Amino acid sequence: MTTPSLAAFARTRRGTGPGLLLAHGAGGGIEANYGPIMEGLTARHTVVGVDYPGAGATPKAQGPLDIDELADQLVAAADAEGLGTFAVSGYSLGGAVAIRLATRHPERVSSLVLSAAFSHADTRTVLVSSIWQHLFETGPHAVLAEYLNLMTLSEPALNSLTPAQVDASAEQLATALPSGTGDQLDLVRRIDVRRDLAGIEVPTLVVVTTADPLISPALQRELAATIPTAETAELPTGHLPFIEDPQGWLKLISDFLART
C-alpha cells in the first residue's frame, strides 16, 4: 500500500476548546460531510479532521486504503495540532474509522459519536457500494449522481423535490465526486470492526438515521447493540443528516458531548 504522508493529508483545524476529531464518509470529505454543522461544532471544540486519500486536497493513494492507516493519520493530525485527548465523531465509513481509532488508541479517546455508521458491510451494503463504484469508474457520472440521490435521500426529502430540481442536483453532484471515491468504496466492502466493539469503554452515541436507504437502520442498530457503552438516538433522515436536518444532527452531537 502506498498512501500519502501526513504532510500530504489535507487537514482541517478550527475552533477552541476540548478536542474533537472528525472522520468522514466514503465519497465525501470533512467539508462535504461536516461543513453544514462546522460552526456549531467549533463554538465549543477544537475540531480537527483529515480528508482521506482522493478526497478534498489529499492526493489519491496508489494502492488499497487501510483502515488502521486512516485511524493513525487522524491521530497524527491531532498530535500535530497539540491535542492530547479528544472525542471522535465518525460519519458512515468514518464510524468504522472512529471505532478502530478508539481500539488502537484507547488512552486518547474520551467519547465516540457514530452517525449513519456500520461495523461491517452486509450483503445489501456490498451490492449498493459495488454499483456505486462501477458507475463511478465507468461513467457517466450524471447517472451515478441520480443513483446517489435515490440511495441517500429519505423518501420524503426526495419527493419534496421536483424532477427539475433532482436533475439540477445531479448535475452539480456529478462534477464534485472525489477522485478517491472508488478506493473508499473498496474499503467499505472490506470493513469489519465487529471484534473491536466489545472492547469500547468510553461513552458512545450511535445516531441512527431511521429513513436511510443506503445504510440500513437495522445495521446501524446492530452496531449500537454490540457496544457495551452505547446509547442510541434516532434522526428521521436519509443518509445525509447534514443535508436533511443539520441542526437536529448538531444538537444530538453537541448535547451528548456536553454531557460526556
Q: Averaged over 232-254, what is the pLDDT? A: 98
Residues contacting 25, CB < 8 A, separation 6+: 33, 91, 92, 93, 94, 116
Residues 199 and 99 in one domain: yes
Residue 219 has pLDDT above 80, yes or no: yes
Active-site hit among 89, 92, 115, 154 = 92
For residue 239, indicate whether it is catalytic: yes
Q: Is residue 146 part of a domain?
A: yes
What pTM, to 2 d.p., does this model score?
0.95
Q: Report how far residue 81's alpha carbon sits from residue 77's, in angstroms, rounded to the nearest whole number.
A: 6
Q: Report how far residue 27's alpha carbon sits from residue 111's, in angstroms, rounded to the nearest whole number.
A: 25
At residue 115, the pLDDT reads 98
Q: Name the β-bridge partners of 48.
A: 13, 21
Residues 90 and 13 in one domain: yes
pLDDT digits (tens, 9 = 90+) for 72-123: 999 999 999 999 999 999 999 999 999 999 999 999 999 999 999 999 999 9
Q: Report how far residue 9's alpha carbon sits from residue 12's, in angstroms, rounded to the nearest whole number.
A: 10
Residues contacting 134, CB < 8 A, separation 6+: none
Residues 54 and 99 in one domain: yes
At residue 9, the pLDDT reads 87
Helix 67-80 with 93-104: angle, nearest 10 deg:
70
Q: Name the residue range of residue 142's domain.
A: 124-174
CATH of residue 251: 3.40.50.1820
Residues 112 and 215 in one domain: yes
Q: Is residue 186 part of a domain?
A: no
Active-site hit among 51, 183, 196, 212 = 212
Residue 3 has pLDDT above 70, yes or no: no
Percent of the chain surpassing pLDDT 70: 97
Residues 165 and 197 in one domain: no
Grid coordinates standing for 157? Answer: 426529502
For residue 212, indicate whether it is catalytic: yes
Q: Report how far residue 226's alpha carbon sits from residue 148's, in angstroms, rounded to the nearest whole number.
A: 29
Active-site hit among 24, 45, 141, 239 = 239
